[in-house]
Amino acid sequence: MSLPIAVQMYAIREDLAQDFDATMDRVAHIGYAGMELIYGIPGASQEHAERRLRELGLKVPCAHVPSPFGADEQPVIEFAQRFGVERLVTGRGLGNFDNLGLIEATCDAYNRGAETARRQGYTLSIHNHWMEYERAADGRYVYEIMLELLDPSIKFEIDAYWVQTAGIDPAAIVRQLGDRVNLLHVKDGPAAIEPPQVALGQGVMNIPAVVNAAIAAEWLVVELDHCATDMLDAVDQSFQYLVRKGLGHGKSA
């Protein structure tokens, strides 16, 4: 399996804020096929970011946005339309999965966003952290409860690193979720919450096992939240690792 490779804008947020154009040039020079956007472009206006993406031939396969319902519906959809986003991705952080009531409220927000996404011609995927793969008070894993509550149209952008950080084999989760996994976030490191991450192939993750378990993934997305080395160098090394292993390809493939 060889999937197109994108970089998550969040990984390079500090570089973009410091010098947007030079950072975008570096990403294109590395060979990335696309970029997953974040809602709130660092270092540039939306107009400028749109122009640079187009000039560099970088696709926008997905964007991480608030769940598009209520007050967020119109601005999120306008954002997606401006950049030609193909898939919407959302997620929630610490404090949203601590008990059944919070899990239910989170899933309701996802379901309401999925209805909007479907109406507007998008899919909605959920990006996870470690919390969804920890056990709830009743002994079940949080993600198992979520699967009972979520609209079946909702897809998953599995962040394999955070699944492993929670103590579960991410390849097994990808296999279990099957064709609902349409995007993969790949990062590497010690599989722990606090320590900085590293370029792919330099940590404990079995990236090939995760990618090969994905039967319906459409893109690989490199995302390092914080890095032990220079971020752009790690983003470059991660791309080269995926290509060398035959797991992914860039825009020239």
**Tell me, what's the pLDDT at 190?**
97
Q: Residue 120: left if φ>0, alpha if ψ -120 to 50, beta else—which one?
A: alpha
**Closest to 61 (Cα-Cα) out of 148, 126, 129, 123:** 123
The DSSP symbol for 12 reads G
Which CATH superfamily groups domain 3-249? Divalent-metal-dependent TIM barrel enzymes (3.20.20.150)
**Tell me, what's the pLDDT at 19?**
98
Q: Could you state, in order of their start, the residue ranges of all structural domains in the chain?
A: 3-249
Task: Provide the pairing of β-strand 155-159 with 248-249.
Answer: unpaired
Helix (H) or strand (E) holding 52: helix 46-56
**Tell me, what's the pLDDT at 199?**
98
Q: What is the DSSP string of 182-208?
A: EEEEE-BSSS-SSSPBB-TTSSS--HH
**Tell me, what's the pLDDT at 253?**
57
- pLDDT, one tens digit per residue, over 147-166 is 999 999 999 999 999 999 99
Integer Cα distance of 203 and 67 in angstroms: 32
Angle between helices 46-56 and 20-30 in degrees, nearest 10: 30
Integer Cα distance of 21 and 27 in angstroms: 10
Average confidence (pLDDT) per 10 residues, the chain, 253 residues: 95 98 98 97 97 98 97 97 96 95 97 97 97 95 98 98 98 98 98 96 98 98 96 98 98 72
- pLDDT, one tens digit per residue, over 186-220 is 999 999 999 999 999 999 999 999 999 999 999 99
Find the largest Cα–Cα distance for the chain: 52
